[in-house]
Amino acid sequence: MTTPDFGNVQAIDVLNLKSLEKRAEALIGRGEFGYITEGSDDGYTKWRNTNAFKDVHMLPRVLQDVAEPDQSTTLLGEKLKSPLMTAPIAGNALAHPSGEIGLAKGAKEAGIMMAQSTFASKTIAETAAVSAGAPYLFQLYMPKDWGYCQYLLDEARQANALAIVLTADSTLGGYRELDVINRYHLKGKIANLAGYNTGENGAGAGSLFKESMQKLNLELIDKLAAYSHLPIIIKGIQTPADADAAIKAGAAGIYVSNHGGRQLDGAPGSIECLPAIAKVVAHRVPIIFDGGVQRGTHVLKALALGADLVGVGRPFSYGLALGGWKGVKAVADHLKMEIFIAMQLTGCQTIDAVKQMHCTTSFEI
Amino acid sequence: MTTPDFGNVQAIDVLNLKSLEKRAEALIGRGEFGYITEGSDDGYTKWRNTNAFKDVHMLPRVLQDVAEPDQSTTLLGEKLKSPLMTAPIAGNALAHPSGEIGLAKGAKEAGIMMAQSTFASKTIAETAAVSAGAPYLFQLYMPKDWGYCQYLLDEARQANALAIVLTADSTLGGYRELDVINRYHLKGKIANLAGYNTGENGAGAGSLFKESMQKLNLELIDKLAAYSHLPIIIKGIQTPADADAAIKAGAAGIYVSNHGGRQLDGAPGSIECLPAIAKVVAHRVPIIFDGGVQRGTHVLKALALGADLVGVGRPFSYGLALGGWKGVKAVADHLKMEIFIAMQLTGCQTIDAVKQMHCTTSFEI
Amino acid sequence: MTTPDFGNVQAIDVLNLKSLEKRAEALIGRGEFGYITEGSDDGYTKWRNTNAFKDVHMLPRVLQDVAEPDQSTTLLGEKLKSPLMTAPIAGNALAHPSGEIGLAKGAKEAGIMMAQSTFASKTIAETAAVSAGAPYLFQLYMPKDWGYCQYLLDEARQANALAIVLTADSTLGGYRELDVINRYHLKGKIANLAGYNTGENGAGAGSLFKESMQKLNLELIDKLAAYSHLPIIIKGIQTPADADAAIKAGAAGIYVSNHGGRQLDGAPGSIECLPAIAKVVAHRVPIIFDGGVQRGTHVLKALALGADLVGVGRPFSYGLALGGWKGVKAVADHLKMEIFIAMQLTGCQTIDAVKQMHCTTSFEI
Amino acid sequence: MTTPDFGNVQAIDVLNLKSLEKRAEALIGRGEFGYITEGSDDGYTKWRNTNAFKDVHMLPRVLQDVAEPDQSTTLLGEKLKSPLMTAPIAGNALAHPSGEIGLAKGAKEAGIMMAQSTFASKTIAETAAVSAGAPYLFQLYMPKDWGYCQYLLDEARQANALAIVLTADSTLGGYRELDVINRYHLKGKIANLAGYNTGENGAGAGSLFKESMQKLNLELIDKLAAYSHLPIIIKGIQTPADADAAIKAGAAGIYVSNHGGRQLDGAPGSIECLPAIAKVVAHRVPIIFDGGVQRGTHVLKALALGADLVGVGRPFSYGLALGGWKGVKAVADHLKMEIFIAMQLTGCQTIDAVKQMHCTTSFEI
């Protein structure tokens, strides 16, 4: 086995997550940057994802005997050092040559969960070799080809994935105007598909959705679980009804997300969907959340409104672009620092205490 | 019969509907463009029409077994390929010499409903010759002269209009400041009036409201239906009380509209009026809706809140200005593409499924 | 008797009321303009006065058999051609040399109610000579000196005032920063005080509040009514409790106003106060309203929420500055035109119908 | 005893409190100014503190027989001339060499309460020598070293402190980006610590939180009260639950504050927290409030929503920077003038009347 090539790596300063975007824009190609940063249509849902956090007000407690708050938690029986996760993003090689192996190394060094996309720039095996025991989820875009699906599930299991995350919100790509303006077509191979089609040319990423199944339904959950013997988490849930139906159909977890505002525009901010879903889920299965997280306080708000694990997407890609795996780690470390301060200042010694925190919201929950 | 003259025609790119306005402004005369684009008074209701859609949040469903969503629907027993309609606009020759015959051709090619105004630049007969069997509505501004009204109804029936749309919100023109600033008086003949007054000079469009009746009332519905033997749809309904009264007086359809914010400023966004009206209508008759639609997701939101057919106005005029009938078709095709994506991403296989979709709104409904 | 000197008079174009402010600013001295235009403190309440109208949505009715709406109405048994009134403003000579006699002439020619301030630049008698039978209110700033008060009441009665408007919201001037920045002290004599103090120098307007009584109470109503034999209207009411108390203490009318946002900043927009007050007043006495009115639709909204007469302040001063009495008339005529259109488009034949119109508001009422 | 050195002192004009910030910025070093002005994270809570006052609408009463309103009040049995207080701020020597002795002199001359921070630039004794009988509170950052704590309490008692204010919201510093950008570390000695560690070098302010205890709890209240024999007020309360718990644990007062938005970002505006806390406190103990106060009307709103004493922070530092103690006095005098006007215009003769005033809020209370 060859030593992984992490490319050009350097420590980076992180003032805050938001500031990384402009710095990364200067490094990444215009088309690639557009693809990473954009939301669909008018970008309303992407905008709302972050801005809806403003409408969640934490009511901090004082005199709670808190010092050195503990950020550890658990998911599906796995002990985790942090409630943070790198949300799955396609083609991280657009940001940095090391792609997902840089992401995996950064996540591992920072002690946070990694989630890898089917459409990664690196194969599951390559990433797994770096992760090597660190907590790991595999995000499945359901292929039309069942053989290819079996191959992906086998690889994920081989990589000790904690669970399979079935993407339910992207049976087709959202309408994204920056790609049209930039005449940008996603470049680079789909490493996993190339791995499956040994000897063939890898399909271009432009054909992602040609490869993917549109007619997803609840029966898939059993089918994937039966073959993989892994827990199945459904990603892209935005309604209590879907959360309930998925759990009844065998889902081991609910992943509340609107795909970073890249799919359906005109959906609410992701955090607005969380409380009603958490109420219906009622702790039967864990809830993963992503959507617009930029601050440690956003992580606390998501946990307080029902999440068990909180994904962060684009900021990790920007960190990767700026410093390779050390950039990824720097982003995670910055967030952990903000979470630490916020836990101390809200009077929360543990993540369980955060989950009990009272918040007020201007949207109905 | 002569071949219709569609004028200068070209295919156009459509990034989104909003972007067409600036492009059209560069082509159309300042006074004409002002007349097309403006709202009345402070333009609040026009602004609100589009912006109120932001306050409608769709809650998308997943794992719904959807692929290749079907956009077909029905209205008054007529099978339609699309829930889209070209909302009636006066004097389309302001935008492009082909006027309504360009609009009709574009609508027909795109497979969407066409609605023609009494104040069109082309006669009903000229337009009908192009539409030739494509679905078609005639929008009536009630004339003071019953003979002229009979002439219009006869022509509409001759043109196989599916229904007569009686305009109830414009017994007088709104106060529109751009026309004052530009010292603009609507130019060009009213083709239908010229057709009626054979041998006389056509009245200038400035006299539109001199020709029109102010004292409209519910009894007109019966009178128009009795003469035309066509269904009568009332346009400009903004309250449940008016919707109910119109249906009880014989209306065959309700058209929720505030005339693109060109009449009464200070009325709510049109989409805000829709849910309460839909509740009172309770499927007794179909509901047509227009007001600020710029996106495929706006069409879905209108359908989900109670509409059966969704009109789009100014964007078609801009498309017509930019490319003649091909511009009209390009606008329709772009919207259909956006609707297709939005149906897939909300888990809706059919328009009926869209009508069942759950939305949350920040305004009361 | 000498012929009144109306100064330089000219017809003016009015695009809308808002646009007059900038035009007047170019004519009036900086200090004078600042004094007229400013609100107190942060100008929040002044801003809110106009902007709160956006949160009132009219629900227009159609097919209501309306043509040529009738704007006439009544107040305290007096038949009025219009629900409009020139709200009382101090020192109109700041805007134009003709001051209140210009205002009175413009109001009379336009057929609207005139209200004259105690602190007018012209005496009651001078103004009355111009008004000569046109409907007229006298606004009293309660003097400390009862003899001066008796003089004012005598003059008002002599002038055939329909009622006395007792100012209750200004026992002291609000904090207005433009005057501090401009080092502006209100110039010019108080004509009425000069009239009373014959032979003495008129007091400067800077001493307005030195002349005025602070300790106002409900007993004043009886005292003023008993002496003047005129109806007493209380101006500056912002709560239902005060409205009720004033009526029980003998008030013949309630004037809802926050003094154009020039007194207490941090109060709600005036229109926000109106509905709750109207509910308590319950038609026992008429309600006059002012605060931020810029459009004919604002007048309709105020009437629909409970007002019987609607005052407009600064715009008449700007009209006066721009064209003397003809400017005042032009402002009134423009508003009447906007009211006419709005009545037609809301389906209201009469002012009584406007009062029945249904509005929705985003603020609680 | 030496004469206190008040440094460069001059009378200043105060247009309004907000305008002082820019003027002070020009005088104070960039790092120091950044430290004083900043909020934590995105500055949302700091922004909200002031802006939430806009969502509190006072409903003024008229005809209430008010003249020359009386601003005096009481706290913990002490008669006060004003409901104003200089909120405790660390290291006032950053703004002006006279530091807290300038602040104390200004507060005394203006007749308002002074609160001094543990982290002051001057010792308790130095400040007390200036205050000399004027009302005074000592704000305690609980040290890890009980001996040091005893020293501070002894000094506070010696200084005739009315009460000890225990800071509960700052067991750790918020994340403040301006300090990172400016590479600023709080300079200067902690005078009180230097006083305790006689013969040692004073600790740098950068070690503030190293000196402070993190694990604060309710038992501290009894411990501090038993040793000091002074009332203990808990500062940084933002929830009714904490207020109730603190009172039951012996607190003699509740101080509603979010530390000027410098600690936890994402908390509500301080004024939003006040009404629910006041309801639970139910007059068992007095309530001190601070957070974003810029206007006399803000003081009235805080009193009306439940406060008994209202702190103002940064504006006094800016006043101090601009004019030494005379700047502090000028800020207080300006606020008292605004309070005077606002009391007159709301119909409130006394502070008790202000506390009965009805306000409406757009946030839930």
Q: Tens of pLDDT along D323-365?
A: 999 999 999 999 999 999 999 999 999 999 999 999 999 876 5
What is the three-class DSSP state of B64? strand
Q: Contact A63/D272, CB-based, under 8 Å?
A: no
Residues from B contacting C (CB-CB < 8 Å) are: 41-42, 44, 168-175, 177, 180-181, 214-218, 220, 234, 236-239, 241-242, 245-246, 263-268, 272-273, 364
Q: Mutating which of C46, C184, C216 best tests the D interface, going by the most D Cβ atoms within 10 A? A: C216
DSSP class per residue in D155-204:
HHHHTT-SEEEEE-S-SS----HHHHHTT----SB-HHHHHHSTTSPPPB
Residue D282 pLDDT:
98
Give the C-alpha separation, B95 to B100, whole Å. 10
Question: Bigger pLDDT: D3 or C9?
Answer: C9
pLDDT (0 to 100) of residue B211 = 72
> Percentage of residues in chain A with pLDDT exceeding 70?
95
What is the arithmetic mean of pLDDT over B26-48? 97
Cβ of A345 within 8 Å of Cβ of D264? The answer is: yes
* Contact assignment for C266 to D295 by CB distance below 8 Å: yes
Residue C188 has a pLDDT of: 67
Is the pLDDT at A8 greater than 80? The verdict is: yes
| B53: CB partners within 8 A, 6+ apart | A266, B269, B271, B292, B293, B294, B295, B297, B298, B301
Give pLDDT, residue D188.
67
Taking the C-alpha atoms of residue A38 and residue A94, their distance in angstroms, rounded to an integer, is 14
Average pLDDT taken over every residue of chain B: 94
The reported pTM is: 0.95
- What CA–CA distance (Å, rounded) separates C336 from C113? 13
Taking CB atoms and an 8 Å limit, are D345 and C172 in contact across chains? yes
How far apart CA D157 and CA D162 sit, in angstroms, is 8
The chains found to touch C (3+ Cβ pairs under 8 angstroms) are B, D
Contact between B14 and B338 (Cβ < 8 Å): no
Task: State the average pLDDT over residues B331-339.
Answer: 98
- Tell me which residue of A328, A330, A348, A359 sits closest to A114, measured CA to CA: A328
Q: Which of C12, C7, C5, C4 is nearest to C329 (CA)?
A: C12
Question: What pLDDT score does A185 carry?
Answer: 85
pLDDT at B193: 81
Per-residue confidence (pLDDT) for residue A201, from 0 to 100: 42
Identify the DSSP state of C283.
T
Distance from CA of B294 to the nearest CA of A (A): 10
Of A67, A337, A358, the CB nearest to D214: A67
The average pLDDT across C315-324 equals: 98
pLDDT tens, residue by residue, C56-68: 999 999 999 999 9
Cβ-contact A262, A40 below 8 angstroms: yes
Ordered alpha helix ranges (H), chain B: 19-25, 30-37, 44-51, 99-110, 124-131, 146-158, 177-181, 191-196, 208-211, 219-228, 240-248, 270-281, 296-304, 314-323, 325-346, 351-356
CA distance linking residue D329 with residue D109, whole number of Å = 7
pLDDT, tens digit, for every residue of B238-252? 999 999 999 999 999
For residue range A128-159, what is the model confidence (pLDDT) as tens digits? 999 988 999 999 999 999 999 999 999 999 99
pLDDT at B201: 42
Q: Is the pLDDT of residue B364 over 70?
A: no
Chains A and C touch (3+ CB pairs under 8 A): no
Sorting pLDDT into bands at 50, 70 and 90, what band is B199? very low
pLDDT at A3: 84
Alpha-carbon distance C313 to B324, whole Å?
50
User: Which among D259, D283, D298, D334 is annotated as catalytic?
Assistant: D259
D26 pLDDT above the threshold of 60: yes
Give the three-class secondary structure for C46: helix
| pLDDT confidence band for D198 (50 / 70 / 90) | low
Say which residue the tokens 């057709």 belong to: B195
Q: Quick check: D221 pLDDT over 60?
A: yes
Residue D314's identity, in one-letter code, is: R
Q: How confident is the model at residue D208 (pLDDT cuts 50, 70, 90)?
A: low
Whether C182 has a pLDDT exceeding 50, the answer reads yes
The label of the residue with tokens 């690196």 reads A122
CA–CA distance, B202 with B185 (Å, rounded to integer): 15
Distance CA C153, CA C220 (A): 13
**Treating both helix axes as pointing N-terminal to C-terminal, what angle do A99-110 and A124-131 enclose, rounded to 10 degrees?**
30
Choice between A93 and D195, residue whose per-residue pLDDT is larger? A93
Residues D311 and D86: beta-carbon distance below 8 Å: yes
What is the pLDDT confidence band of residue D206, given thresholds at 50, 70 and 90? very low
**Range of weakest confidence among A2-11, B61-70, D312-321:** A2-11
The maximal CA–CA distance of chain A, rounded, in angstroms, is 65
What is the pLDDT, as a whole number, of residue C204? 42
Q: Do C344 and B177 touch (CB under 8 A)?
A: no
Question: Angle at which helices C30-37 and C314-323 pack, to 10 degrees?
Answer: 150
Minimal Cα distance from D239: which residue of A? Answer: A59
* Contact between residue A59 and residue D238 where contact means Cβ atoms under 8 Å apart: yes
C240-248 helix and C270-281 helix, angle to the nearest 10 degrees: 40
Mean pLDDT of chain C: 94
Closest by alpha carbon to D76, among D291, D239, D264, D308? D308
pLDDT tens digits for range B94-114: 999 999 999 999 999 999 999
- Please judge whether C16 and B177 are an interchain contact, meaning their C-beta atoms are less than 8 angstroms apart: yes
Three-class SS of residue A145?
Answer: coil
ipTM above 0.90, yes or no: yes
From chain B, the residues in CB contact with A42 under 8 A are: 295
| pLDDT average, residue stretch D215-228 | 97
Cα angle C33, C38, C39 (rounded to 5 degrees) comes to: 165
pLDDT digits (tens, 9 = 90+) for B160-196: 999 999 999 999 999 999 999 999 987 767 788 887 8
What kind and span of H or E run contains D273? Answer: helix D270-281
Q: What is the pLDDT of residue C205?
A: 41
Nearest chain C alpha carbon to B219 = C63
Least confident interval from A175-179, A194-198, D145-149: A194-198
How far, in Å, CA of B45 to CA of A252, rounded? Answer: 48
Is there a contact between A94 and A102 (Cβ–Cβ < 8 Å)?
no
Query: Cα angle vertex B321, ends B320, B322, to 5°?
Result: 90
Q: Of residues B96, B185, B229, B259, which has the active-site annotation?
A: B259
Go through B325-358 and write b for each residue having 16 or more CB atoms within 10 A of its CB, e for each that does not.
bbbbbbbbbbbbebbbbbbbbbbbbebebbbebe
Alpha-carbon distance C282 to nearest alpha carbon in chain B (angstroms): 25
Residue B204 pLDDT: 42
D-chain CB neighbours of A68 within 8 Å are: 214
| C243 residue type, one letter | A
Q: Determine the distance in angstroms separating the CA of D301 from the nearest CA of chain A, rounded to an integer.
A: 21
Query: What's the pLDDT at B137?
Result: 98
Confidence of residue C212 (pLDDT cuts 50, 70, 90): confident
In chain A, the domains with their CATH numbers are 20-56+69-359 (3.20.20.70)
Q: What is the pLDDT of residue D131?
A: 92
Q: What is the C-alpha to C-alpha distance for residues D288 and D256, in angstroms, rounded to an integer? A: 6
Model confidence at B208, pLDDT cuts 50, 70, 90, reads low
From A259, A283, A298, A334, active-site residue: A259
Identity of the residue in A44, A168, A174 whose CB atom sits nearest the CB atom of B63: A168
Catalytic annotation present for D283:
no
The catalytic residues of C are 259
List helix spans (H) across A182-239. Answer: 191-196, 208-211, 219-228
The residue ranking higher by pLDDT, D24 or C201, is D24
What is the SS3 assignment for D247? helix
For the residues A3-18, what does the mean pLDDT come to?
Answer: 96
**pLDDT tier at A176 (50, 70, 90 boundaries)?**
very high
Q: State yes or no: pLDDT of B352 exceeds 90.
A: yes
Residues of C in contact with B220 (CB under 8 A): 63
pLDDT-above-70 percentage for chain B: 95
What would the pLDDT profile of D280-320 be if each residue is shown by its tens digit? 999 999 999 999 999 999 999 999 999 999 999 999 999 99
Strands (E), chain C: 56-58, 73-75, 78-80, 84-86, 113-117, 136-140, 163-167, 232-237, 253-256, 287-290, 309-312, 359-361
Region D214-222 average pLDDT: 96
| For residue A275, pLDDT beyond 50 | yes
Rounded-to-integer distance, Cα D59 and Cα D305, Å: 13
Quickly state the pLDDT bin for A194 (edges 50, 70, 90): confident
Residues 6+ positions from D342 with CB-CB distance below 8 Å: C264, C266, D296, D297, D299, D300
Furthest C-alpha separation in chain D: 65
Chain C residues within an 8 Å CB radius of D304: none
Closest residue to B174, CB basis, from C66, C301, C341: C341
